[in-house]
Structure 1
Amino acid sequence: MLNAPTTSPTPTPTPTAPGGLPLIGHGLRLVRDPLPFITSLRAHGRVVRIRIGPTPAYVVTDPALTRQVLVTDAADFPKGGRYYDALRVFLGDGVATVTDGDTHLRNRRLMQPMFSKAHIAERGNAMIDQVRTTVGAWPAAEPRDMFAGMNEITLATFLVAVFGADLPAGLEGEFTVLMPEIMKGTIRQVILPPWITRLPLPANRAHAERVARLRTLIDRAIDHHADVTAPGSAAAAGVSGAEGCPHAARARSRQQTGLFETLLGAEGRLGRRQLQDEAITLLAGAIETTGTTLAWALYEIAGNPAVERRLREELASVCGDRPLRYDDLDRLPYARRVLRETIRKYGPSWMVTRTAARDTVLGGHLIPEGADVVWSPYLHQHDASYFPDPDTFDPDRWEADRAAAARGAFLAFGDGRRKCIGENLAWAELHIILATVLQVWPRLQLTSRPPRPQAVITVKPDALAMEFHPAPND
């Protein structure tokens, strides 16, 4: 007897989130209370339909289904959607935003050597020197805006790592001013209806002007880097004679030139516009996510004396009275758990999109071709079934015996073939900056009210001021 033919089960209707309004859909909720709204969707199902303006989008609330989107069925859900459309306005077609296919694969392979642990280690001590100089210049007992301050120091460290230690004066300051405003304009383009973002409004014009200025600054940095590393340049000649030792010369040359030298060698294959796109992509990822994480980490440390004590004890046991060295980082496991827990609790990203390449069934629900598919690291990393008591800051949840069950929902760096290419550099910066701040300043103190999370591109503190104090006998 022949078996009866099997048929695919009929997809289940996708639940729609309550609270949508005519014309703007759930856009008002996404503007006014994005984090409570995005986390509330878990109660409605594993896949939930929302509307951004008149356009439907499908929010994946189950981390297992998100991994299916990012890894197992990645070909059905290429990078795209409103989030990446808005990012492309200023990132262009950098490796983080270019659509899947041969171009992405080629560019990622060209950039990958920049982010090997060995390559980053060659710049590690130059990064530490930069951080120590900057942090040591902070006036004692003076309230500092920590979100702005951490973005500034992250930017300075990034520029040393990527472009070398001798960029023209003024570039760093302009980058620091431009990037937060560009990020605000970008998230505005994500959550507002497209017809609004296309109007000749002052906010739209200002965003376009800032993006154009950013490209000019990046061009100046690329040209300067190319001049410094060119054979016969004064800097190259000075390095070649360093201490009369070829090994010392090579080491100093690597620290002076920065990681971007790898891409300059590929300019013929990438082209100038592509170099701009990749540099801007690295800049955006390095500043906003890393700086935000560090600001939240210092806030949590200031409010958790036991955490601060363990961090300082670990640092003292590894370094003693000497300054941090790059090869110390692997011997600071508690610092890494503190940083990982900060990333878990505060995002850093709260809304990311993919596009359905074809009609696809996900978790029993039909996702139509061309629809935006939304996933949220913030939502997944506050899922109590993976992270008990998710609003509590608990670095020990990342101890080996507890962490295994939670890793499936930790998606801060993405997953699959589009996982963040700069993850190694991000961890290096986070470790270096946190450890150096604690080494230089024996006491830190919150001087503002507790900050509230604010969703822009990252989940940033709305207001966070701190003071730093020397040891009592200094």
Structure 2
Amino acid sequence: MTSSTGVRAPSAPGALPLIGHGHRLARDPLPFITSLREHGSVVRIRIGPTPAYVVTDPALTRRVLVTDAADFTKGGKIIDALRVFFGDGLATVADGDTHLRNRRLMQPMFNKAHIAERGDAMIEQVREIVGAWPGAQPREVYADMNAITLAAFLVALFGADLPGHLAGEFTALMPAIMEGTIRQTILPAWVTRLPLPMNRAHAERVARLRTLIDQAIDHHGAARATSAETTGCPHADTARSEEKPGLFATLLAAEESLGRQQLQDEAITLLTGAIETTGTTLAWTLYEITRNPGIERRLREELESVCGDRPLRYDDLDQLPYSRRVLQEAIRKYGPAWMVTRTAARDVDLGGHRIPRGADVVWSPYLHQHDPDHFPDPDTFDPDRWTPGRTPDTRGSFLAFGDGRRKCIGENFAWAELQIILATVLQTWPRFALTSRPPRAQAVVTVKPDTMTMTFLPPTARA
């Protein structure tokens, strides 16, 4: 709702000349963002000299994302930084006809039936990787979870026959690209435009990623053409003909509508969006399991009751409700995103506060998901808070996947991948233990652990 009425939003205390609240965002961002709830439903902060308006009331955040979404367009510092390097993928493209068209084209990729077709291939890939870990050796869990997530997603996206050299280069390249992307969102825009070695290296990696995606698209298209030519031939390779196409086949069919540049943008968006958030959630989930023996016991008992001694199958996922609650609690407690931005399209009255046109409007899944009015004792890891019948209405305060027309299109896929990887780790390794100090939460783009090593122990090993 546009309006010239409304009062100026209260300002957060502690701003410094020139940098505003930048020192708090750099030094203790999570305590700072959650503290803003004490100062009002909409609170004005300064990031350098630029004001931004943080929405602390989940009902008002719902207005930003759903009810009055036309007044709050996709934009702001984080989105603008991502758009420079990743183009106009679904997560960064501006609101309007292009976004609606591309979302409709991509939606079939992520319906449950299409995901199910890729489920067993994902399980096989994850089992192969997790089973190859050497026992009783400390492992960097956060890096491992990102690597497994990427490998599973590549199988789902492009199919199981992606050439090994492409899969290997994706795996080697993505961590550095994610690190560079995070750096670009933190640094001032003028620094990211300088011809510095780190900026050049990041641009070169993104260019190489686009080349790899081109090669994967071409390979995928060639494989589909070959499959079509051999269909019906009695001498065709049966195993190859039975291989389900990757999810990306949906977009390849629409290449004429999208163009190659848009295909690249969407593939980059999918890869980067899938890895960091899912890998982060899994790392924190394993950490909480090491701290809560009762939770681990219930997870293993549920898994054994469904699977017995056989490996996990995709059809088992719906029969693992406690696993789902554990993962949902990890998402609630640790984000994964902690700060998301929109841009006011016009002068807006939001909850009685005046927000000027062009201003950044900030909403924080982390802030809402630590609101004690909706999640009592929010710092406690309690999967049972998601038990049916016990949970209060948290629709407006559990925002890990966003809401409204820009809600994460891959939510169904994310849940499937999370459950597959967690269940496979539990089935493969009877025990695991933290070997580093307890990790501290680092708020960058996601809320990631600053350190986390674990040993995974086979049945005969001792902790």
Please show how residues 72-87 of structure 1 align to structure 2 within 5 Å: 72-87=67-82
* Aligned-partner residue type, residue 178 of structure 2: M
For residues 317 and 442 of structure 1, what CA distance do their matches in structure 2 show?
15
For residues 360 and 106 of structure 1, what CA distance do their matches in structure 2 show?
28
Please show how residues 364-379 of structure 1 align to structure 2 within 5 Å: 364-379=352-367
What is the match of residue 166 of structure 2?
Answer: 171
* TM-fit CA distance, 1:172: 3.0
What is the match of residue 3 of structure 1?
Answer: none
| 8 Å CA contact retained: 1:98, 1:104 | yes
* TM-fit CA distance, 1:88: 0.9
What is the match of residue 217 of structure 2?
Answer: 222
For residues 35 and 170 of structure 2, what CA distance do their matches in structure 1 show?
36
User: CA offsets per residue over residues 100-138 of structure 1, 9 Å max, x none?
Assistant: 111001000000000000010011111111111111111
What is the match of residue 387 of structure 2?
Answer: 399
**SS of the counterpart of 2:75?**
coil
For residues 227 and 179 of structure 2, what CA distance do their matches in structure 1 show?
43
* Aligned-partner residue type, residue 381 of structure 1: Q
* TM-fit CA distance, 1:9: 9.2
TM-score for both structures, normalised by structure 1: 0.93
Identity %: 75
RMSD over aligned Cα atoms: 2.1
Establish whether residue 141 from structure 1 lines up as the match of residue 136 from structure 2.
Answer: yes
In the alignment, structure 2 segments of 5+ residues that lack a partner are: none
User: CA offsets per residue over residues 326-383 of structure 1, 9 Å max, x none?
Assistant: 0000000000000000000000001111110100000111111011101111111111
| 8 Å CA contact retained: 2:146, 2:276 | yes
Please show how residues 15-54 of structure 1 align to structure 2 within 5 Å: 15-54=10-49
* Aligned-partner residue type, residue 427 of structure 2: Q
* TM-fit CA distance, 1:238: 9.3
Q: 1:462 to 1:230 in 2, by over 3 A?
A: same
Q: 1:189 to 1:49 in 2, by over 3 A?
A: farther
User: CA offsets per residue over residues 162-181 of structure 1, 9 Å max, x none?
Assistant: 10112222333333343333
* TM-fit CA distance, 1:236: 7.3
In the alignment, structure 1 segments of 5+ residues that lack a partner are: 1-7
Establish whether residue 295 from structure 1 lines up as the match of residue 283 from structure 2.
Answer: yes
For residues 423 and 288 of structure 2, what CA distance do their matches in structure 1 show?
15
**SS of the counterpart of 1:467?**
strand
Range with greater deviation from structure 2 (92-101 or 21-30) = 21-30
Please show how residues 326-341 of structure 1 align to structure 2 within 5 Å: 326-341=314-329
| 8 Å CA contact retained: 2:285, 2:330 | yes
For residues 279 and 75 of structure 1, what CA distance do their matches in structure 2 show?
27
* TM-fit CA distance, 1:295: 0.6
Range with greater deviation from structure 2 (218-227 or 168-177) = 168-177
For residues 427 and 154 of structure 1, what CA distance do their matches in structure 2 show?
12
| 8 Å CA contact retained: 1:184, 1:457 | no
Q: 1:308 to 1:147 in 2, by over 3 A?
A: same
What is the match of residue 198 of structure 2?
Answer: 203
* TM-fit CA distance, 1:51: 1.6
Range with greater deviation from structure 2 (451-460 or 338-347) = 451-460
Establish whether residue 253 from structure 1 lines up as the match of residue 253 from structure 2.
Answer: no
* TM-fit CA distance, 1:385: 1.1
**SS of the counterpart of 1:71?**
helix
| 8 Å CA contact retained: 1:151, 1:176 | no
Q: 1:235 to 1:338 in 2, by over 3 A?
A: farther
For residues 127 and 332 of structure 2, what CA distance do their matches in structure 1 show?
27
User: CA offsets per residue over residues 378-420 of structure 1, 9 Å max, x none?
Assistant: 1111111111111110000001122233332100000001100
* TM-fit CA distance, 1:232: 6.0
* TM-fit CA distance, 1:77: 0.5
For residues 106 and 25 of structure 1, what CA distance do their matches in structure 2 show?
40
User: CA offsets per residue over residues 421-464 of structure 1, 9 Å max, x none?
Assistant: 00111011001000011011111111111101111211111100
For residues 152 and 185 of structure 1, what CA distance do their matches in structure 2 show?
17
**SS of the counterpart of 1:78?**
strand
For residues 235 and 373 of structure 2, what CA distance do their matches in structure 1 show?
58
Q: 1:372 to 1:95 in 2, by over 3 A?
A: same
Aligned residues: 460
